[in-house]
Amino acid sequence: MNRMFAGALVTASLGAMGCSGAGGAGAGVDAASRSASLSVSDARSGLRAADQAMSDASAKAGSAQGFAEFLADDAVMLVEGSYALKGREAIRAWLATHPLEEGGTVHWEPVRWDVSADGTLGYSVGTSTVDADGATAKAMGRYISTWRRQPDGQWRVAVTVRNAAKTPMTPPAGFSTSHTLPAAAPRTVPKDVVLAEAKAADTAFSAMSVQEGMGKAFGAYAAEDAVLLGGAAGLFGQDTIAKAYAPFTLDQIDLRWEPVLGDAAASGDLAYTVGRAVSSGKDAQGKPEIEHVKYLTVWRRQADGQWRYVTDGGNSSPGPQGP
């Protein structure tokens, strides 16, 4: 759950103008029965196509139409400085006055997208741009979106977090667009059990941050191929993340959090949590400073059975409630 570092405080993971979409495989077929015959490769391709379709629709019709039409009915959007927006229509209303394309045309491009083993849950991470009308300058952002396949087979966004950025995410050579590490043993588990496991991992992650410092916690809980929105080009891989977060020791910042919402795949290998966090540190004058944050973390069960985050992002909240 990246609470992006800014000086001694962590405020959010850089990321902007969300991505999400509808790109299903035919309507009117039960998602559970469809997923049985849908390969992981096909599911990934469908999610990527949905992400692209949403970007295209937003560029053509604007975010209040193109973006919102690809959201799940109960979608959640995390935007800077506000409590989470909940529900497609609430998000649409917000976009009507805060369009993603303000000043130009919005596009986005994921650098990582992946799905659960049963093809029902997925996520995408990437860069958003707004091409300014009549100018060559571009506004940048970075985003994370989680996706659910609906009963009609369409992919729709469940949760998205978007933040501003100055540069695009640029993966290093050889970094895969999807998960390539050994998978956890297959299993079929009730979704609420899987989500409880992910929430327990999230809670333990926070406990390590409180006891040993957020720097150690973010390095220890990252999957080997994790992607975070921070840094000049994004942070790719556990080693890079651990190095970037090492300066954030317990004497520099106290960061703690708790999961509130979430969802999981019945295949038992992928889940996400949404929650609230509080960071305590000191400002430039050495005075105590507290910041409230909301976050989205995507979790994957590793081959050894442990849950590790594969991506994480957040932004500020006006107070301790929420997300």
Residue 315: how many CA atoms within 13 Å on its side-chain side? 24
d(C-alpha 130, C-alpha 138), whole Å:
6
Give the integer Cα–Cα distance in Å for 262 and 295.
11
pLDDT band at 137 (very low <50, low <70, confident <90, very high): low
Of 133-142, 249-258, 271-280, the poorest mean pLDDT is in: 133-142
Whether 190 and 228 map to the same domain: the answer is yes
The residue segments making up the domain with residue 137 are: 31-165
**Model confidence band, residue 212 (pLDDT cutoffs 50, 70, 90):** very high
- Between 7 and 180, name the one with better pLDDT: 180
Query: Do residues 106 and 63 touch, judged by C-beta distance below 8 A?
Result: yes
Query: Would the pLDDT of 225 be above 80?
Result: yes
Give a yes or no: residue 16 inside a domain.
Answer: no
* Residue 26 vs residue 116, higher pLDDT: 116
H or E, element range at 74: strand 71-78
**Which of 165, 193, 221 represents a domain boundary (last residue)?**
165
Please say if the pLDDT value at position 162 is more than 60.
yes
What size, in residues, is the chain?
Answer: 323
State how far the Cα of 315 lies from the Cα of 296, in Å rounded to an integer. Answer: 9
Task: Grade residue 287 by pLDDT with cuts at 50, 70 and 90.
Answer: confident
For residue 132, pLDDT over 70 is answered with yes
- Domain's final residue, options 165, 197, 221: 165
In a domain, 19, yes or no: no
- In this prediction, residue 283 has a pLDDT band, given cuts at 50, 70 and 90, of confident
How confident is the model over 301-311, as pLDDT tens digits?
999 999 999 99
Same domain, 151 and 190: no
Residue with tokens 């992607």, as numbered in its chain: 227
Q: Residue 28's pLDDT is what?
A: 34
What span, in angstroms and rounded, lies between the C-alpha atoms of 319 and 135?
A: 38
Which tokens go with 44? Answer: 């990934």
Tell me, what's the pLDDT at 113? 98
- In this prediction, residue 136 carries a pLDDT of 66
Q: What is the DSSP string of 183-209?
A: BPPP----HHHHHHHHHHHHHHHHHHH
At 68-122, the pLDDT tens digits run 999 999 999 999 999 999 999 999 999 999 999 887 899 999 999 999 999 999 9
Q: Can you give the pLDDT at residue 286?
A: 78
DSSP assignment of 103-147 equals TEEEEEEEEEEEE-TTSSEEEEEEEEEEEETTSS-EEEEEEEEEE
Residue 251 located in a structural domain: yes
CA distance 13 to 6: 10
pLDDT value, residue 9: 35
pLDDT at 123 over 80: yes
User: Are 160 and 41 contained in the same domain?
Assistant: yes
Pairwise pLDDT comparison (17 vs 82), residue with the higher score: 82
Residue 71 sits in a domain whose CATH number is: 3.10.450.50
Q: Report pLDDT for 20.
A: 33
| Integer Cα distance of 293 and 38 in angstroms | 37
If asked whether residues 198 and 159 sit together in one domain, one would say no
Please state the domain count of the chain: 2
Residue 114 and residue 203 in one domain: no
Same domain, 103 and 148: yes
* Residue 175 within any structural domain of the chain: no
Q: Which of 103, 136, 165 is the last residue of a domain?
A: 165
**What integer best gives the mean pLDDT of the chain?**
88
159, part of any domain: yes
Same structural domain, 196 and 75:
no
Among candidate residues 47, 43, 21, 271, the one with its CA nearest the CA of residue 157:
21
Higher pLDDT, 273 or 136: 273
Q: In this structure, is residue 176 part of a structural domain?
A: no
The CA distances from residue 218 to 197, 266, 311, in Å, are: 18, 26, 11
